[in-house]
Chains A and B, each alone.
Chain A
Amino acid sequence: MKSDIILSGVGGQGIVSIAATISMAALENNLFIKQSEVHGMSQRGGAVQSHLRISQEEISSDLIPLGKADLIISVEPMESLRYLPWLSENGWLVTNTTPFINIPDYPDLKEILGEIEKLPHHIAINADEIARQVKSPRSSNMVMLGAASPFLDLPYGFLESGIKKIFGKKGEKVVQLNIDALKAGREFAIEHKKS
């Protein structure tokens, strides 16, 4: 059991919540974890990434080597492309298609989606829209985690218990909204991964 994951997005989008859920799930199951984060200046609306590694065996490096990531999970489409050199030959890219535009030269969204389409293994999902559909509009990150879940070397049930552990303090309702979002993302990915 081993997953090397790059999480990407824009500072403030909360990619750490995805990382924390996976890590919590892994910790509960006595797996080894390394979760590298970005703090400080880049958090202010800049490109951010997190390297997340889980494994049954001891993990050496906090950083994933180039060409070795099993999965890129991105909450922003252009940011999903920035870390492609880390993606392994047969790795999956799972990205939100809702752009976060805070730079004047943001490229045409169609061109970005076109680049994503070129990859052999990818899931492009409008996580914001799906989060709204399941009436959990603030849980788009959990939709993304759900969409990535079929490609994680971690039983799905672990993720639900990770959510319970992390959001438990905020009450049953918040936990359920997040689990609904997680499920919706997962269903979308399972349906689309065959195509």
Chain B
Amino acid sequence: MEKLLLLGAEAIAQGAIDGGMSGIYAYPGTPSTEITEYVQNNKTAIERNIHRQWSANEKTAMEAALGMSYAGKRAMVCMKHVGLNVAADAFINSAITGVNGGLIVTVADDPSMHSSQNEQDSRFFGKFAMIPILEPSNQQEAYDLAYEGFDLSEKYKVPVLLRITTRLSHSRAGIERQPLKSENKISYPEDPIQFVLLPSNARKRYKGLLAIQSLLEQASENSDYNTYYPGRDKSLGIIACGIAHNYLLENFPGRNCPHPVLQIAQYPIPYSKIEKIVNECERILVLEDGYPFVEEQLRGFLEINSKIIGRLNGIIPRDGELNPDIVARALGKEVKIYHSVPEIVKNRPPELCSGCSHRDIYNALNETMLEFGKQKVFSDIGCYTLGALPPWNAINSCVDMGASITMAKGAADAGIRPSVAVIGDSTFTHSGMTALLDCVYENTPVTVIISDNSTTAMTGGQASHATGRLEEICIGLGVKPEHVRVLTPLPKYHDEMVKVLREELNYEGVSVIIPRRECIQTATKTKKEIKVKNVEVQS
């Protein structure tokens, strides 16, 4: 079969389609966005009408995927690592309800925070939920594990966490496909109260989850993806998780590592294989792209296993993405650098695009705030977070999706006047609506600027649930119609924007200002592309 050149993210999408998936649910988030986008544009997915529209947020996505699983069909839900925090309630409980159709929760972690607020490691969430975790080391394994993950989920009747990191998600390689499977037919759960987590039933379900733990451990022991490679030099044994295995082999010509190596791609940790390598070797180097998840479990609190080395003893930096050079140094190899970066090279941070509407609203806001004082603007996750950088220095917070409005509320409760929130349209419908309702409930004096570029811009211009209904949402939540003000953010309307901002900043109640102009990136896409997109949205 012809090889496909796919990103790791796309390989997962293709694997899930070929594995008989009936629906994918997701909210865009780097580095996970391309999984769903691939399904949206895939011929088989379109022919089969696999569900592939975006969800409002990761929690709604997780729940909808669980609903599809309830109906007996195979579903995947995708998100970035911090998205799993949003979906956590549904995620943890889905392990207790168990599944009917196979359910894969794909989470893309972002060590080194290329595009994120933190570098949390989702494997902890998988362990917390007590479900199997799959961690592919390369694009082919990403395909294969997505393809086979549904079987694993259906065999043990629990969701499966598929964990990748940025590097695998955003790197291409050739992929060989497996035969296309048919989709599951609708079937109801055998037990009609399987999904009813009333305490009496939840206790039963939880005991069931505990009871299968030994089976999940056995599955890891027997997994073809947890491979023990013998080696003659037993002064060091290496445990390499996921993509770390590649960085290890990069350091040995011909991929011949002289040390025993245990490659881990399926969790729970395979106990006997670990026991074997630990007993055999003098020291154990643990390589993982993320937190010291395996290393910490092996060392234990009392550090009886002092022969375990890795991020916790400092031979590998405690934070940041792994790479072949870090692994080389941990192996005691020299990393040679022949050319250094000349001093004249300057930083080039990302910036708001030329012609972007956020620029105009920040210009107006900054001028207005001169009258009201500094450090009163709370913001959120999106392109507009770049307003924190020069030349604007316009915002004072960026914490999590939707937090701008709620933090502005808390600051207003504390007495800060005016208290301002700047949030994007897609972030608002993701997690800002309930925050606004809190403000309405108490008529808290906050000014919420929903900078509406009618797309999810930061991740590449996905559809926004807010498009065409923002005013109705705000008024429906109880904001007074006269305090919902729509502006056109263009330099020529600067004075008008300042005037409206001033009026609302002086108002002792909830006001919403909606500067609305389409994202310059989506606006400049060719007409043809836009046409294709519209057809897809309607299908």
* Interface, chain A (partner B; CB < 8 A): 10-11, 23-24, 27, 32-47, 51, 58-67, 78-79, 81-82, 84-85, 87-89, 102-103, 105-108, 111-112, 115, 119
Chain B residues with CB under 8 Å of A81's CB are 341-342, 344-345
User: Is B305 an interface residue when CB atoms closer than 8 A count as contact?
Assistant: no
User: Is B349 an interface residue when CB atoms closer than 8 A count as contact?
Assistant: yes
A34 CA to B345 CA, complexed, in Å: 28
A45 near B174 with CB under 8 A, answer no
A45 near B353 with CB under 8 A, answer yes
Within 8 A of A (CB), among B144-180: 167-168, 170-174
* Interface, chain B (partner A; CB < 8 A): 3, 5, 7, 30-31, 33-34, 114-115, 167-168, 170-174, 243, 246-251, 255, 323-325, 328, 335-342, 344-353, 383, 386, 458-460
A44 near B353 with CB under 8 A, answer yes
B325 near A65 with CB under 8 A, answer yes
A9 CA to B123 CA, complexed, in Å: 34
> Chain B residue with minimal CB distance to A112?
B344
> Chain A residue with minimal CB distance to B458?
A41
Q: Is the interface of B mostly helix, strand, loop or mixed?
A: loop
Provide 24 A-B residue pairs closer than 8 Å at the C-beta atoms, listed in order of the A residue.
A33-B173, A35-B173, A36-B171, A37-B171, A37-B172, A39-B30, A39-B115, A40-B30, A40-B114, A41-B350, A43-B350, A44-B353, A45-B348, A46-B349, A46-B350, A63-B247, A66-B325, A66-B336, A66-B337, A79-B348, A82-B345, A87-B339, A106-B346, A107-B345
A106 CA to B250 CA, complexed, in Å: 36
Q: Number of residue pairs across A and B with beta carbons under 8 Å?
A: 151
> Chain B residue with minimal CB distance to A35?
B172
Contact of A67 among B249, B338, B386 (CB under 8 A): B338
B336 near A67 with CB under 8 A, answer yes
Given known pairs A23-B5, A36-B171, A46-B350, the reply for A58 and B33 (CB within 8 Å) is no
B5 near A33 with CB under 8 A, answer yes
A23 CA to B170 CA, complexed, in Å: 15
> Chain B residue with minimal CB distance to A32?
B174
Known pairs A27-B174, A102-B348. 18 more at Cβ < 8 A? A32-B173, A35-B171, A36-B172, A37-B172, A40-B458, A41-B114, A41-B458, A45-B350, A46-B348, A60-B246, A60-B250, A62-B173, A65-B250, A65-B251, A67-B335, A78-B344, A87-B338, A107-B346
A105 near B170 with CB under 8 A, answer no
